[in-house]
Amino acid sequence: MNAAWATAVGAIFVWLGMVMAISFMEAPLKFRAPGVTLPIGLGIGRLVFHALNGAELVLAAIVLVSLSVDLPPGRIIAAIIVALVALAVQLVAVRRWLNRRSDAVLAGHEGPRSRAHCVYVGLEVIKAVALLVSGILLLAA
């Protein structure tokens, strides 16, 4: 494995670890903490996911730059593209939908639960699987 691919593998698994730790552990657990109300949890979540998404963009850039030095096989590129598309949809479409809902809750309005959260979680699962597959395939190449 060359240095470019090794860098990409490192960035992919750091990215995967961050998604797993924040999306699948921190996010659901914070609402179980004593005294954390829905508005407080949403406020914390917005900060945490803003930071996560920023880190994801940096890691995605590292992966893209690293792999542009020495292109891997198509199946690896395809898996990485799936992760990138999932992230892009989350950032461009779903986060706006979630922000509208959290803005309303933070302003004191109650309403029906948003399906945007389920869409975001589904995209997180797709992204996590794509990152895992791309990292394993890149290691095996």
Task: Write the DSSP assignment of 3-29 as a string of letters.
Answer: HHHHHHHHHHHHHHHHHHHIIIIIHHH
- The one-character DSSP state at 138 is H
- For residue 33, the 8-state DSSP code is S
Positions in the chain whose pLDDT score sits under 50? none
Half-sphere exposure of residue 12: CA atoms within 13 angstroms, side-chain side: 32
pTM of the model: 0.91
Contact 13, 83 (CB under 8 A): no
Q: Which residues contact 104 (CB under 8 A, 6 or more apart)?
A: 111
127 vs 22: CA distance, rounded Å: 13
pLDDT at 55: 98
Token look-up 């992204």 returns: 127
- pLDDT at position 43 is 86
- What pLDDT was estimated at residue 1? 74
- In the DSSP assignment, the letter for residue 34 is T
Residues comprising the chain, all counted:
141
Distance CA 62, CA 43 (A): 29
Residue 119 has a pLDDT of 94
pLDDT at 31 (0 to 100): 85
Residue 99 has what pLDDT?
85
